[in-house]
């Protein structure tokens, strides 16, 4: 039976260890946007022992490249991007303190193993609902790599941002669980 949680970032390992695949979470507080080009730069900084543009500890990173905002809005449509492009970077981010990732689609085994080892969560956001998700973002500020345009790292202030736990800290995978419910057993 799935549960519903309201969490404020930064999130702790104690909080992530409570979550199970299928749980619904409403996030509030600060999250950061980063896609593959930004992830490569962030991991390069980690490997070089240099300072990051934001504190990874307890952070949640949203895989999004938002559209430009309409006048008076902090951000445009902000739907999740396909997460597998971050698979080679996510274990390093989790190892260095990040506790959550938001995207869409399946993750590889290395990411699932890193979630278990470092207490991280992979959250799914509803693809195709970018305009609605953008309304839960109350402020947006580019904090790194402005030359990447929509893929720049942004500090996002969110309120009741709806996500679902896809991969939890125990190795469960909501996508696999869903398939198993409907597979014909021979």
**What is the rounded average pLDDT of the residues 84-102?**
98
Residue 72 has pLDDT above 80, yes or no: yes
**What is the rounded average pLDDT of the residues 72-87?**
95
Strands 100-103 and 121-124: parallel
Per-residue tokens: 142: 């580019």
CA separation for the pair 63, 95 (Å, rounded): 18
Residue corresponding to tokens 């305009």: 131
Q: How far does Cα 48 stand from its chain's mean position?
A: 24
User: What single-letter DSSP state applies at residue 28?
Assistant: E
Residues serving a catalytic function are 39
Reported as a single tens digit per residue, the pLDDT across 149-158 is: 999 999 999 9
- Report the pLDDT value the prediction gives residue 186, as an integer from 0 to 100: 65
Residue corresponding to tokens 């980063």: 34
pTM (2 d.p.):
0.94
Helices (H) and strands (E) in the chain, counts: 6, 7
The dihedral sign for the CA sequence 74, 145, 161, 29? negative
Reported as a single tens digit per residue, the pLDDT across 17-47 is: 999 999 999 999 999 999 999 999 999 999 9
The CATH number of the domain covering residues in 4-182: 3.20.130.10
Q: With CA atoms as reference, report the closest residue to 39 among 5, 73, 87.
A: 87
Reported as a single tens digit per residue, the pLDDT across 44-68 is: 999 999 999 999 999 999 999 999 9
């Amino acid at each position: 039976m799935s549960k519903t949680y309201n969490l404020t970032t930064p999130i702790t390992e104690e909080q992530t260890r409570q979550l199970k695949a299928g749980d619904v979470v409403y996030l509030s507080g600060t999250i950061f946007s980063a896609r593959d080009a930004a992830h490569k730069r962030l991991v390069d900084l980690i490997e070089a022992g240099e300072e990051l543009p934001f504190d990874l500890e307890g952070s949640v990173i949203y895989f999004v490249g938002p559209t430009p905002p309409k006048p008076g809005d902090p951000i445009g449509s902000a739907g999740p991007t396909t997460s597998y492009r971050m698979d080679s970077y996510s274990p390093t981010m989790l190892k260095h303190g990040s506790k959550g990732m938001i995207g869409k689609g399946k993750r590889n085994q290395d990411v699932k193993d890193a979630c278990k080892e470092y207490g991280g969560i992979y959250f799914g956001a509803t693809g195709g609902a970018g305009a609605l998700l953008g309304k839960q973002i109350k402020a947006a500020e580019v904090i790194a790599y402005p030359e990447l345009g929509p893929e720049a790292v942004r500090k996002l202030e969110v309120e009741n941002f709806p996500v679902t736990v896809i991969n939890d800290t125990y190795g469960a995978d909501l996508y696999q669980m869903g398939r198993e419910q409907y597979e014909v057993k021979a």
